[in-house]
Structure 1
């Protein structure tokens, strides 16, 4: 969670004593991160892949890329114009695949 997003989340969660330092506390960072991912998923029509990209590159960027790609998830990942969210999503999807193989869907 970056500081500006942390401040916005603190307001959403009613966390009145927000400072940028608290996002480095694991329990706060996990709570804020989970909230933001859930919010991004709702904001981006319930699509987890769009939410993951939005979490990493911002929901506005994710929304623009999704509009270009339509419902095609493969195309969506291919047209990401920033390398970081592409690598981030590919890493998560790879782990998701391996966990599903090990533990079932």
Structure 2
């Protein structure tokens, strides 16, 4: 394959990958392959998380695992780490609220 065809194939594969990513966002339920693509995790990590029951999943049949996208997103965003600016704003808001309550 010449250099121009190789570049074209790479570009097409990249476009297909981005289409797959866009389609994932519209899915309500993921299978293991979808979750792997969505998170970038290895199959081993996914199976370890489900085996330890650390991640929300459903197993309607013996062997098939399914993941609700919204529950996965909530799980991924738990325990946030706030920036210094976020912390300062939260403290200021709390102090303003308490000051008004004591007036």
Is the shorter-chain TM-score for this pair beyond 0.5, marking a shared fold?
A: no
Structure that is richer in helix per residue: 1
Give the structure with higher Rg (CA): 2
Output the TM-score relative to the length of structure 2.
0.28
